[in-house]
Structure 1
Amino acid sequence: MTSRVTLVSPATSPSLRQARFDDGASVDDVGAARARAAAGSLPSAAAVVLSPSVRCRETAEALGLAGAPAPELAALDVGHWRGRTLDEVGAAEPEAVGRWLTDPGWAAHGGESVRDLCGRIGRWLDTAGGVDGRTVAVVEPEVVRAAVVHVLGLPAASFWRLDVAPLTATELSGRAGRWNLRLGRPLTAQDADRCLAPDQAAGSR
C-alpha cells in the first residue's frame, strides 16, 4: 500500500511578511487572492487536515478545501515569543535567539524545541503512512520543514536550512520509513487548469 501526503504552506499574511511569530493574523488580500486563483490545483484527497491556525484555515477555505484542524500539526510553540517579530526578540534576547537557531534541543522560551517538533511531525507522518489514499494537509511552514527533516533522515540542525515559500506544495509518497519527496511547487491558476478536464480548462479562461 502506497500513501501520499501533500503538504501545502499557507498564503501570505502580515505575520509572515514581518517575520513575526504567529499572532493569529489572517492572510492578507494578496495571499487570499492567489489562493483563490489556485483553487482546484491540488489532486483530490481522501482526507484534508490543517494546522490549527487562522492563516491555514483561511488558506484552505480559499483553495476550496474543507478540512479539520489537527492539534498534532500545530506550529512550533515559541512560548513567550509568540506575537513578537524576530528582530524584537533578537534585540531583547540576543543570546537566546542565537541558541534557538543553533541548538535544536533548546526551548528556554517556554515552548517547544525544534527537535521535539521534528519528532512530533515524524510520528504523524508515520501514522499517515499507514493510511491508504492521499492526505492533503495545509500546514505552517515549520511543519513542512520538520516533515522534510524526518523523511530524509536529516539532523535536526538542518531545520533552519530549509526554506518554504507561501502557497507551495511538498509531496510525499510511500509509507512509514520509506518516503519519497517532491519539493515544494507553487500553486498557480495554471496548475488548477491542468487538474480540470480539457473542456473545463478551456471554459475557465
Structure 2
Amino acid sequence: MNLRELESFNAFMTYGSVTKAAQAMNISQPMVSRLLNNFEKSVGFELFSRKRNQLTATSEAQQFHATVLRSLNAFREVETEARAIANEQLGSIRIAAQPIYVDTYLIDVVAKFKQAHPNVSISITDTGLEGMLDMISTRQCDLGIGITLDLQDPNVLVTPLAQSRAVCLMPVDHRLAGFETIDIDLLRGENFVELSIGSPLRTKI
C-alpha cells in the first residue's frame, strides 16, 4: 500500500462515494476505483461490498479507517515539521481544543504567543472531549484545552486553568425566571435544549 491509496480510502470513507472522493482528491473516478481496489488487495480483507457498481464500506473498513486516519495525520505532521525546518521555524505546537475555545480564547492566546515566538508554528484541531483525549493518548497533539469536569484519566495530566458555572437560559416571562437557582427537579416536564451527545456536562446533568 502507498500514501495515495491511503488518501483515496480516507476520502471514500469521509465522503461516502467514489464520485465525491474523486472530486475531493481532484482526480478521476476510475483512478479512485483503481486505488481502492489496490488498497483492498494489499490489506488482505474485504473493505467494500459491491452491488450494481456501488461500493459500500464493510464493518472491517469502518474499524480500519480510524487506524488509517491516524497514519495520515502522522504523515501530515511529518510534512508540517519539514516545512517548519525549511522555513527556519524553531519548532511546532499541536493543540486539540473544544470548538468553543477555538473561536474565542485561543485566538488571543495564539496571537500573543506568536508575537513572542514568531518562528514557532501552531496548529489547532477542534474536537470534542473524547476526540481530544484520544489525540492526547495517541500523541497526536502536544496539549488539549477543554471542559473536563473532574476528569480522572491516568494517561492525562490535567492542569486547571479556570472554573466556570453552568447557567440555565430562558425567556424573561418564563415561569422559572424568578428563581435564583434552577435545580434539576424544576426542569421536570420542561422542554429544553440540551448539550450534544458526548458532552461531559450533558452526562453530569
Higher relative contact order (CA 8 A, sep 6+): 1
How does the TM-score come out when normalised to structure 2?
0.22
Larger fraction in strand: 1
Bigger CA radius of gyration: 2
TM-score by length of 1: 0.22
